[in-house]
Structure 1
């Protein structure tokens, strides 16, 4: 039963990558990014006001750090993913996203003094090679000649932003309940993304895009983080992180069924390596 928690989170996040792609043409990236966190904030608020007030003495001196975490982990990461979805495939996004644990490991070695093992080094080399295969569409010569697809580049930056977020989370060790910290970061995302939402063209809520917003809010923004937190408590951080390796495979399978995306040989090679 304890393995159900990380699997649930991974399936939801893989599905959310496909949701990013389904949102293209149905709603503008800045819209779904803002609506997602706004709705999550509204739903969380009745349950989180008392805990926030109770922990305010611990929150106040850490407001700057909480703001940085909210910008990196909620606003930048997910917003770039919505924009990336307009320019690349969900399969590519899932494979690139699987680099996150290794990016986090590299930053932990530099900033936290974590030791680099031979296994971690081998994993890093293989994962980097796998992503190179994917972003080059199996042709490194074409990559050198034309550069990285803009959508893939956005997804790489988004993944890097979340890796920095994860590293800072470990480094700062904020003494706050996980749900309180999540709620405060959601509020940061709402504030930061509001100007982009105002400046963006808008479709508005429709029967086509409302289910996408609800999935992104209720499942990807609320249920998945809660399931992941439970997984960390029950299995520990190291064992839980291993489930992240399933993300590209599950994303590719969902994308093949829902989006009819064709799996090329370079997807299979890149997915195995990462």
Structure 2
């Protein structure tokens, strides 16, 4: 359910490009999430206020990366590329996270992880250039694809830091603080930047992104991890580009082409290879 809701969130991002600005949809998305979470977070915050105080700077950083920058850049990208491309580029997130873990925290990067990364990158390149490498050489990369790549780096860093800064505080506290961080960070943009009046069609999109994409999906995901473990859960995350592509084809009428299928499968195979190699390396280190 979490993966289906996140796939729907990419479709919402594409639909929102025509009716609301990226800053507006990101701001109101997290405002809705913060308001929904407030009743559930108030009590735990009061009970755990002593433990929360030293962790606030970390939660604020996570909120800026995962709740403000990542969705904002994704909504900008949605105005210049397809929902399917957004979903496939997101497959690089686990690979980028593995690389960032090695650079920032000295985690060993195995040969299998490198090979998987290269295969995934090839798959993404095939998708981006529509199977024509001449097109890649003769034309600059699509602006939306580049923006989505930057967004994916932000989310990969968010994921690495989230795992590194693992907290025993209730999840409702972390989600609420991160949501509030995004609202505060985007408020100056909303107040100072000129923007058109919100179209009525934007309201259900904001409601979906705020209630389902920002609250329900993370809670379902964390609940799933608690029941089946992160290793099995990662298999479901790898289905995100396939779910996104299916929803984009059914709901947006995006075309299903051979380069898209082949490139998407290569990206998925590369991610699975890299993740398995990383887990094997971690298991060997733990046994020493």
1:204 aligns with 2:202: no
Partner of 2:90: 97
RMSD: 1.5
User: Deviation at 1:205?
Assistant: 5.6
Pairing 1:1-274 to 2, within 5 Å after superposition: 8-198=1-191, 199-204=193-198, 206=200, 208-274=201-267
User: Deviation at 1:149?
Assistant: 0.7
Query: In 2, distance between residues paired with 1:265 and 1:68?
Result: 40
Question: Is 2:19–2:199's contact at 8 Å kept on the other side of the alignment?
Answer: no
TM-score, normalised via structure 2 length: 0.88
Structure 1 unaligned regions, length at least 5: 1-7
Partner of 2:271: none
Structure 2 unaligned regions, length at least 5: 268-288
Query: In 1, distance between residues paired with 2:171 and 2:108?
Result: 27
Comparing 130-139 and 152-161, the one that deviates more: 130-139
TM-score, normalised via structure 1 length: 0.92
CA spacing shift, 1:200–1:42, aligned 2, 3 Å = farther
Query: In 2, distance between residues paired with 1:120 and 1:154?
Result: 24
Partner of 1:4: none
Q: 1:102-156 deviations in whole A, cap 9, x for unaligned?
A: 1111212233333334433332121111111112222223223322111001100
Number of positions where the alignment pairs a residue of Structure 1 with one of Structure 2: 266
Over 6 Å off, 4+ runs: none
Question: Is 2:68–2:185's contact at 8 Å kept on the other side of the alignment?
Answer: yes
Q: Secondary structure at 1:204's aligned position in 2?
A: coil
Comparing 75-84 and 238-247, the one that deviates more: 238-247
Question: Is 1:30–1:200's contact at 8 Å kept on the other side of the alignment?
Answer: no
Query: In 2, distance between residues paired with 1:9 and 1:176?
Result: 22
Question: Is 1:87–1:150's contact at 8 Å kept on the other side of the alignment?
Answer: yes
User: Deviation at 1:195?
Assistant: 1.4
Query: In 1, distance between residues paired with 2:17 and 2:187?
Result: 20
Query: In 1, distance between residues paired with 2:194 and 2:247?
Result: 30
User: Deviation at 1:203?
Assistant: 2.5
